[in-house]
Amino acid sequence: MTAGLQGSLMVDVAGTWLTAEDRQLLRQPEVGGLIIFARNIEHPRQVRELSASIRAIRPDLLLAVDQEGGRVQRLRQGFVRLPAMRAIADNPNAEDLAEQCGWIMATEVLAVGLDLSFAPVLDLDYQRSAVVGTRSFEGNPERAALLAGAFIRGMNSAGMAATGKHFPGHGWAEADSHVAIPSDERSLEEIRANDLVPFARLSKQLAAVMPAHVIYPQVDSQPAGFSRRWLQDILRGELQFDGVIFSDDLSMAGAHVVGDAASRIEAALTAGCDMGLVCNDRAAAELALSAAQRLKVKPSARIARMRGRAYASTEYRQDPRWLAAIGALKEAQLID
């Protein structure tokens, strides 16, 4: 593999430390990233040690987590319990508070040796999708873009690149793509006028985008993450997006429409994803790895841009900015 280029597969591990089997998997050059979940986390020091043990094997590996705030927050014990993004929107200082949340989240994630959180959510809150719900900033596309842009500024100032999800918008489809194959029957014109607005407004600020496991039948018969129409024509072409495209977890039910794990990783990479996530299923990850080895996919140079630019000091809680940010969120009654 060319120096500086990451592999096209992101995997996970089962526990709070690495097994011999994990180490063998992580040594494969086709593996370019690892995502941690709640089961991998005890407290900040343990996560730092896990990150260090991973980097001892593969210093180049991209380390990720889902740390949005609200109910999607893997790092809990010893970390700030951030509000759901929807709770910010009605505050008169919403834009400033969104930026503070982005900075706090990124600072804590970087401090335990991880590179990024897959955030922010750019889906619109139509009061339809239970899986999106309060994870969304707003139902109004311009307002959602404004607040998400502020959250991204906070992330960036802490040293973290931002990932917008779930392109082109998961807020209208009612089914949960973790357990079903959602469909959004609206026209491209309607989606473009609403759900695409945050992605279009923020396309230059986003370092990465994660597409939805949702089928938009008026646009393409494939879910967005497997669709060249969505990823190449619209995201790359129309929105002029030049960042990383991460698949959503290819083990989710919404991805099963294209076949087994080998078929899914092949379909995602062929459609235009730079890196495919295969999580919570080691057998599927090994099948996807074999497929990636067989495909000989050229690694994407874009992925290196996602590395955390500077790991925060573990003494960040003494930083005047930290104290001010926490104070602002407490004053707004967004955290305890």
Return the active site residues.
178, 248
Rg (CA), the chain: 19
Burial class (CB in 10 A: 0-12, 13-18, 19+), 333: exposed
For the chain, give the number of residues: 336
> Which three-class secondary structure state does DSSP give residue 187?
coil
User: What one-character DSSP code corresponds to residue 54?
Assistant: H
Q: Which residue has the tokens 């994660």?
A: 210
